[in-house]
Amino acid sequence: QVQVKKKKPAASAPPPPPRENPDVWLKSVSLEVSGVSLEPMKGTEVVNKIRLATDDVVTRYLPCVDFLVACQQELRAGLAAATRKRVVRGAYRDSLTPRQFYNQYLQPLPDRFICKNQSLMGQTHLRPAVQEIQKLCGDARKVEYQGCEAMKNVFLGGMKEGVSWGLRKWLSKNGGALTICNDLECILASVQKMDRSQENTKKMGERLRPMAKQAFDRLKKDVPASYQEQSTAHPYLPFFHRLECALRGVSNFDPDDDDVICIDDEDEIEEVKSSAAIKKEVASAENKRQADANSNQDRTSKRSKMNHDNNGTNGEIEIFDFDEDENQEQAATAPKDTVANEDTTKIELKCARCTMTNPAGSSRCCMCDQDFSSSENYEVQEIDGSDHFNIADVTFDDASTALGGTGNDDWEPPRNSNSQSEASANNDESGNDMARHLESLAYMFDSNKQDQIL
């Protein structure tokens, strides 16, 4: 008998230790995102929400944008081909009828969208989008009697009074850009409120930045450059610039670098530049004013020194001038007619005809042109400089009082006691005298001799 030895089963290897979940810390993070959820969201929910939003950019928004761009280009080229004239039985006609234009360019669009995006978009989003395209084709078919251009305009649509319609409205509704922008903006605002010094905040930024950066690069790459231009009158793509700013904000979120401010709008850049320039001008003006004030204060303290002598009599204040040379130089360079001592006596000539005072040495009266060659035509007066008449110090009340009023009442010109006939007879002579006097005054003002009238 052959004995068969049974082999002992080999000892089983010990099971590997369970791997540690690197995202355990997300469960300890709690954020209040009121625009997304009424209850506080855990860190895992925040990360999943950002992942779904960035995935929708690639699976929903970009396919709809691609369809819109293709339809605009193909329908415009098709309209140009359909309206190209040809001779039919001696008459010029369009190359395609509206029915042919619809069958060739509009009718295949729903099936084309399904074939291209059925493997990319989910059925929950693909089916409503196709139904909306079929509805737009039906609306274009209703205006077939108006021609090819009317059918193209109804299908593509646009914006009127701030409201989108046609294929543009279809993109806003089925592209999901509004929901994506809302989620990204609300989560970014909540994440920015976290304490930047904590380690969880830095880890959250490291998890969110790659997802947003990938979606942002794909958005800038797949959308044509001509459709990325911003136009306030008629923007090409709905929510494009808002979505771009939201993705850029999440992709640039870094708790360690909080001193960088990204400004995308050119108007905001110009506003910041203008405000900075205004602040700079205000600061320079303030510095200049302060410097002038300091220099004036230093000059005043240098020129005059107030010495309160406690041992003197009656506490007199003595002023010592240390800049005598400077004062003498200023007095030498100043105009002669402006350097005058208030205590000196002035000699003036009073006209015998109009009683106007003239400076000494005048050959004629500055008012009535009276010749002063004879001493009978003027009277010499000595006037104290301190009591000299200055027209700049005379107010309206003083003038009214001088003319016989009370100073507060309305002044009325004195009535002429002469008869109407005498006034008419002397009208020409008085007019000539007044014209001659005004010419004399104008000449003296032009010659910078206004002080001679005072």
| Structure confidence by residue, pLDDT tens digits, 178-197 | 999 999 999 999 999 988 88
- Classified as helix, coil or strand, 85 is strand
Q: Report how far residue 312's alpha carbon sits from residue 200's, in angstroms, rounded to the nearest whole number.
A: 78
Among 261, 244, 259, which residue's Cα sits nearest to residue 184?
244
Q: Report how far residue 59's alpha carbon sits from residue 64's, in angstroms, rounded to the nearest whole number.
A: 9
DSSP string, 267-318: HHHHHHHHHHHHHHHHHHHHHHHHHHHHHHHHHHHHHEEEEE-TTSSTT-EE
Q: Report how far residue 218's alpha carbon sits from residue 214's, in angstroms, rounded to the nearest whole number.
A: 6
Helix runs in 157-251, H state only? 167-174, 177-192, 199-222, 240-251
Question: Residue 143 — very low, low, confident or very high, per pLDDT cuts 50/70/90?
Answer: very high
Averaged pLDDT, 395-416 = 46
Each residue's pLDDT tens digit, 8-25: 666 666 777 666 666 777
Residue written as tokens 């030498």?
Answer: 332
Question: Residue 269 — very low, low, confident or very high, per pLDDT cuts 50/70/90?
Answer: low
* Residue 41 in tokens: 């969201």
* Residue 416 in tokens: 């002429």
* Residue 396 in tokens: 């309206």
Q: Report how far residue 112's alpha carbon sits from residue 101's, in angstroms, rounded to the nearest whole number.
A: 17
Q: Report how far residue 25's alpha carbon sits from residue 203's, in angstroms, rounded to the nearest whole number.
A: 9
Give the pLDDT score at 12: 66
Predicted TM-score (pTM) of this structure? 0.54
Averaged pLDDT, 263-279 = 59
Averaged pLDDT, 427-435 = 64
Contact indicator for 97, 125 with CB cutoff of 8 Å:
no
Residue written as tokens 């690069």?
Answer: 217
- In this structure, of 31-40, 129-138, 367-376, the range with the lowest mean pLDDT score is 367-376
* Residue 88 in tokens: 């039919």
Q: Report how far residue 235's alpha carbon sits from residue 302's, in angstroms, rounded to the nearest whole number.
A: 68
Residue 106: phi and psi, rounded to 5, are: -95, -40
